[in-house]
Amino acid sequence: MTGDMMGEASTSIISALLLSILFVMGVAIAHLRNLFAIVMLSGIYSLVCAAWYILVDAVDVGFTEAAVGAGMSTAVLLGAILLTSRNAKPERRFARLGPLAVCIAAGAMLIYATSDLPAAGDPASPANTGVGLTYLQINWADTGVPNVVTSVLASYRGFDTLGETLVVFIAGLAVVLLLGFGERSLAETLRKLKKEDKVP
């Protein structure tokens, strides 16, 4: 029992720590002008995000964040840096006031909305009074998967997930066909045209 309590306490402490790391990262990314450093820091941001998702038991979201945020988007952003400059333009003095106001307004609205949310584990909440409870009861006997979310995604809604995967695959294929790889790629063509002075 004490082991459980200790585990819980350390979980919440580490949770708070990871969230404060995220805050520091966000502020640093907003301040930096070197694009490569920003890409590197956003990689750390995604990794910390993914670790935190796993701590709060959202394993599938954590996977997506790690694969897309830390793995893929770092590569894609580096590719974007290759096509543009290495540093962001310096900003005018009060250029950020408008976006800041929008962010604060949106954040305030979200915080206001959370007051209407039911408490975690509330048996009277809509999530627990509908079909959710049934899934919780029959999930183990039906699929034998310990994580209910995973069992719904991969078993009950297996065909739906297969279709989604297909759609994402086709989208990726279309991007590859449009941009190309190697000698036929868009970047390579632009470079060649630049060499021949056909593009300023």
Partner 1 sequence: MMMAALIALIVSMCLLLIRALMGPTLYDRVLAVNSFGTKTVLLIGLMGFVMGRPDFLDIAILYTLINFTSTIAVLKFFRYRSFQVPLARRGEPRAVAPIAGGEPNA
Interface positions with partner 1 (CB under 8 A): 3-4, 6-7, 10-11, 14, 17, 21, 24, 28, 34, 36-37, 40-41, 43-44, 47-48, 50-51, 54-55, 59, 62-63, 66-67, 70-72, 74-75, 78-79, 81-82, 86-87, 181-183, 185, 187-188
**Nearer Cβ to partner 1 (93/184):** 184
Cβ at position 54, least distance to partner 1 in Å: 6
Question: 78 vs 154, which CB is nearer to partner 1?
Answer: 78
Q: Round to whole Å and give the CA distance between 171 and 177.
A: 10
CB of 147 to partner 1, least distance (A): 10
Residue with tokens 């930096």: 32
Which amino acid is it at 179?
L
DSSP assignments along 73-125, one per residue: HHHHHHHHHHHS-SBPPPPPTTTTHHHHHHHHHHHHHHHHHHTTSPPTT-TTS
- 2, 52, 128 from 57: Cα distances, Å: 21, 9, 18
Q: Looking at beta carbons only, is 40 or 154 nearer to partner 1?
A: 40
- Smaller CB separation from partner 1, 4 or 196: 4
CB of 164 vs partner 1, minimal distance in Å: 20
